[in-house]
Structure 1
Amino acid sequence: MTVPDAVSVIAAKRDGHALTDEQIDWVVDAFTTGGVADEQMSALAMAILLRGMDRREVARWTAAMIASGERMDFTGLRRGDRSLPTVDKHSTGGVGDKITLPLAPLVASYGVAVPQLSGRGLGHTGGTLDKLESIPGWRADLTTDEMMTQLRDVGAVVCAAGAGLAPADKKLYALRDVTGTVESIPLIASSIMSKKIAEGTGALVLDVKVGTGAFMKTLDDARELAQTMVALGADSGVATVALLTAMSTPLGRTAGNALEVEESLEVLAGGGPADVVELTVTLAREMLAAAGVDVDPAEHLRNGRAMDSWRSMIYAQGGDPDAPLPTAHHTEDVLAADDGVVTRLDAMAVGVAAWRLGAGRARQGAPVQAEAGVRWHVVPGDRVRRGQPLMTLATQTPERFDAARAALADAVDIGPVPAGDSDAMSATIGGPLIIERVTVGS
């Protein structure tokens, strides 16, 4: 058998051919171990972006990414004499997407283990670990033994993935980010699913965002990504379901690290913005159903049990759940230019503004400000008056305000107030939050 080489693999995909199993296994392994140069893998990633991959190729690529590192195993996880089911959730990323924070402890409060290996933000999308690190003392890096102990004792853990989990993905993602190939559906699907399958969870619920603030801008692309990931999960024995959810308007009322923790605490206390509560409860219901638990998850938001799980989860990772969250020294308001009704609040613009204020990073490893971000006071359907605050910008470095304001220049549309019932008017703006449910074969 002829051993593949980088140039022939690149040329095959460039010319629209399906890569063989041998080519895929070789190129992923050789890239991970340094036998394929970054510029060669960059060329292949661009060829995949332009030419695509069929289901067999994506499945084999994902398997090769998993094989590049270690796999975790939760099958022996027990609490007393009871085996604990494990369910994870992954979001493809959006603006104001703090759902993991209330969701993990909510699901854990029903006796289901939630091993949530999360990441850091890059660009306009925030990272779960960055948000939690705004809590004094909280740490993201846990050993495998610490993670297993916390899952057994608390039920939920949100932490960084170890370096040994799908190292090919970590190396390839860094290249995709700087070569304009992040949007490739086969590469997004294999990146997400290689880590989730290697993580060893028994079931997985995917939140695939669609809209201006998401990586997938169209419903067709989001549906294709969801179907691809659900199939990958099923082929690997991980029960997987996906929800397509709207991300043209940002979630909740805040984007920024400590700001989003504060809002998550409101949800755990039984309040919070309606859209954040709706998505949290819907995803929790899917996760619990996958674990064989049939309940109304909203009950544990109302009675405080989800908050108890949160406090235990934060405390177990060195955090102080009672410590005050950091707040910005500098704030400025963005005011309404006209009277009328808000017809659009652009998620991407809000995300970029929060990033420019210091809540996000332009390159991996750069620091972020816990205090920085955007709080919006109105959502589509709300009536406003000229001069009324639409948003409040927060940062530790006030020289960032100009760049943030520039990002928000066209973020809000205000239209005339139509005649008729205002409640009916509000309901017609924006559309549903939960768009579609994707399962195997759907």
Structure 2
Amino acid sequence: MKSMTQLITDKKAGLAHTEEEVQWLVENYTNDHIPDYQMSAWLMAVCWQGMTFDETKALTLAMMRSGTCLQLHSVGRPLIDKHSTGGVADTTTLVLAPLLAAAGAGVAKMSGRGLGFTGGTIDKLESIPGFSATLQEEQFLALLQKQGLALTAQSASIAPADGKMYALRDVTATVDSLPLIAASVMSKKLAAGAEHILLDVKVGQGAFMQTKEAAVELARYMVAIGLGAGRNVKAVLTSMEQPLGLAVGNALEVAEAIEILRGRGPLRLRQVCLRLAAEALCLAGMAKTQDEADLQLAALLDSGKALECFRQWILSQGGADIIATPTLLPRAALEEELLSPYSGYVQQIQARIIGEASVALGAGRRYKGETLDLAAGLVLACEQGDFVQKGQKLATLHAASAEKMAAAKKMLVAAFVLSETPPLSYPDVLGWVDADGFHAEAE
């Protein structure tokens, strides 16, 4: 077998690895026989040179096999897993998981932490006092059987290779690589055992895939890997040109998800959540048409059934009752308003800058293992298309120190693009990828 140095050299030269080489690399990194600095060099080489589909598939399966693959056939419900490729103010998982469980699905989900300027579901949930995101296989299965919903992080037993590489990629500027994203996502999905997998592939300047073409290619890779492993997979492409919701930051996004589950909250976020949930129900054969699914799901939101499902889920994993007592969520020491320097229509809210500002406030990691400020972040006070007056509030910032507040404000100057005319509107759903390829959303 080649040495790690030779594998780095090969990949730097654009050569393809064999399946055996990929398996060796994953096994040895998982078992601490390859140091972070060599893995970082290999990850950067992959970012520059890419990987073939066969290499990506081999990497996915090796990462899946690095730990236990859950066997969930005894749950008695159609098992659905949903994953987002990462965006800004994207709280869809926190809404979809209880919403689908309330509809009768089994939601078996393995999630990750934030990557770069995008938020992570595990970080968001850990802002809830007492919530445990690390479940043993027996606990995971028991919760699925009892309430139809369980969520866990990668652990020493489930996809540990991805957990190690995920943390390293976050702080070595090796996040935005198609094969690395595809392998990371699908290794978790396959290890978690769900039959039906819905992928929410974000597109735009606030996503890792900034063009539709790149997003379609990533979706094709992930769908093909999943279908090849015998799963039922579909990818929906959604826009991340602007933040999806209004809240950016861990505890702030949990609070916003609760508002959606109450039947309120930002309209765009609610609509995207309902569309993704309808796609999931249709994928699992639980609804014949999207219209049928839409009616069922809207009723679950408006009746409070989905909210109660969220409450029971959080309590079952040790979390505090933040529905009854929302003040239990952490709150930042400082809050400041960002005011508009002049009047005009909000032509654009640049999602990437918003995400990077939230990191500056303390809501995201700048280096491996950094402790997050779970109360930090910002809440937008306007959306694209709104008219704002000079001096009107654009956002409220939450941070632990004046220094972080000042750094974020400096960054946010460029995030809000104002003009004298209203902006053009663009669809939030661009299309989908299934076994038959890409299908554009009808306008």
What TM-score does the superposition give when structure 1 sets the normalisation length? 0.91
Hey, what's the Cα distance between the residues in 1 that align with 2:406 and 2:110?
Answer: 35
**Is residue 432 of structure 2 the alignment partner of residue 437 of structure 1?**
yes
Tell which structure's C-alpha radius of gyration is larger.
1
Counterpart check, 1:61 vs 2:59:
yes
- The Cα of 1:132 is off from its aligned counterpart by 2.1
Task: Please give the alpha-carbon distance, in whole angstroms, between the structure 1 residues aligned to 2:25 and 2:318.
Answer: 41
Distance 1:97-1:42 versus aligned 2 partners, 3 A rule? same
**CA deviations over 1:392-428 (Å, ceiling 9, x no partner):** 11123233211010110111111114xxxxxxx56x2
Query: Is 1:252 matched up with 2:237?
Result: no
Q: Does 1:392 align with 2:387?
A: no
Q: How far did residue 122 of structure 1 move?
A: 4.1
1:299 aligns with 2:299: yes
The aligned residue for residue 197 of structure 2 is: 204
CA distance in 1 between counterparts of 2:169 and 2:249 reads 25
Does the residue aligned with 1:310 lie in a helix, a strand or coil?
Answer: helix
- Counterpart for residue 377 of structure 2: 373
Name the aligned partner's letter for residue 76 of structure 1: S
Q: 1:261 is paired with a residue of what secondary structure?
A: helix
Within the candidate set 162, 165, 179, 1:169 is matched to 162
Aligned to 2:350: 346
Q: Which residue does the alignment assign to 1:20? A: 18
2:210 matches 1:217: yes
Cα contact 1:239–1:290 (8 A) shared by 2: yes
Distance 1:372 1:159 in 2: 23
Cα deviations by residue, 1:41-92 (Å, 9 ceiling, x for unpaired): 3333333222222222211221122222221111122xxxxx2121111111
Give the SS at the match of 2:337.
strand
Q: Is the 8 A contact 1:4 1:22 kept in 2?
A: no
SS at match of 1:359: coil
Aligned partner of 1:312 in structure 2 is 312
**Equivalent AA in structure 2 for residue 92 of structure 1:** T
Three-state SS of the structure 2 residue aligned to 1:312 is: helix
User: Does the CA-based 8 Å contact 2:379-2:397 persist in structure 1?
Assistant: yes
Secondary structure, in 3 states, of the residue corresponding to 1:70? coil
2:39 corresponds in structure 1 to: 41
Q: AA paired with 2:349? A: L
2:366 maps to 1:362: yes
Match of 1:124 among 112, 117, 127: 117
Cα distance between partner residues in 2 of 1:134 and 1:28: 31
> Cα distance, 1:13 vs. partner?
3.0
> What residue in structure 2 maps to residue 85 of structure 1?
78
Number of residues of Structure 1 aligned to a counterpart in Structure 2: 426
Match of 1:188 among 177, 181, 190: 181
Maintained 8 Å contact 1:209/1:216: yes
1:311-330 equivalences under 5 Å are 311-319=311-319, 320=321, 321-323=323-325, 324=327, 325-330=329-334
Which of 415, 436, 442 is the aligned partner of 1:411?
A: 415
Return the alpha-carbon distance in structure 2 between the equivalents of residues 143 and 282 of structure 1.
Answer: 32
Q: Any idea what the Cα deviations from partners look like across 1:8-35, whole Å, max 9, x if unmatched?
A: 4334333333322222222322333344
Q: How far apart in 2 are the matches of 1:199 and 1:372?
A: 31
Equivalent residue for 1:420? none
Question: Post-superposition shift, 1:219?
Answer: 1.6
Instruction: Give the corresponding residue for 1:112.
Output: 105
Answer yes or no: is the 8 Å Cα contact 2:154–2:163 preserved in 1. no
Whole-Å Cα distance in 2 between the matches of residues 46 and 329 of structure 1? 38
Q: Distance in 2 between matches of 1:36 and 1:396?
A: 37
Where does the alignment leave 5 or more consecutive residues of structure 2 unmatched?
288-292, 438-443
Cα distance in 2 for residues equivalent to 1:163 and 1:241: 29
**Aligned partners of 1:124 and 1:281: how far apart in 2?**
25
Alignment partner of 1:142: what SS?
coil
Distance 2:183 2:260 in 1: 32
State yes or no: 1:157 paired with 2:150. yes
AA aligned to 1:352 is E
Kept in 2, the 8 Å contact 1:122–1:364? The answer is no
Q: Which deviates the most, 390-399 or 25-34? A: 25-34
Mapped partners of 2:311, 2:99: distance in 1: 11
| Structure 1 contact 122–363 (Cα < 8 Å) conserved | no
- Tell me the SS of whatever aligns to 1:360: coil
- The equivalent residue for 1:5 is 3
CA pair 15-186 structure 1, distance change in 2 beyond 3 A: same
TM normalised by structure 2 equals 0.91
Between 1:121-130 and 1:296-305, the stretch displaced more is 121-130
Structure 1's 121 and 19: CA in aligned 2 closer, same or farther, altered over 3 A? closer
Structure 1 portions without partners, runs of 5+:
78-82, 418-424
Which of 328, 333, 336 is 2:337 aligned to?
A: 333
Please say if residues 98 and 260 of structure 1, whose CA atoms lie closer than 8 Å, have aligned partners that are also in contact.
yes
Identity %: 43
Which deviates more, 321-330 or 230-239? 321-330
Change (3 A) 1:263 1:33: closer
Residue aligned with 1:229, SS: helix
Comparing 5-14 and 287-296, the one that deviates more:
5-14
Q: Tell me which amino acid in the other structure corresponds to 1:315.
A: L
**SS in structure 2 of the partner of residue 159 of structure 1:** strand
Please say if 1:50 is aligned against 2:52.
no
Deviations 1:317-370 (A, max 9, x none): 222131223333321111111121110111111112222222222234332223
Instruction: Look up the match of 2:441.
Output: none
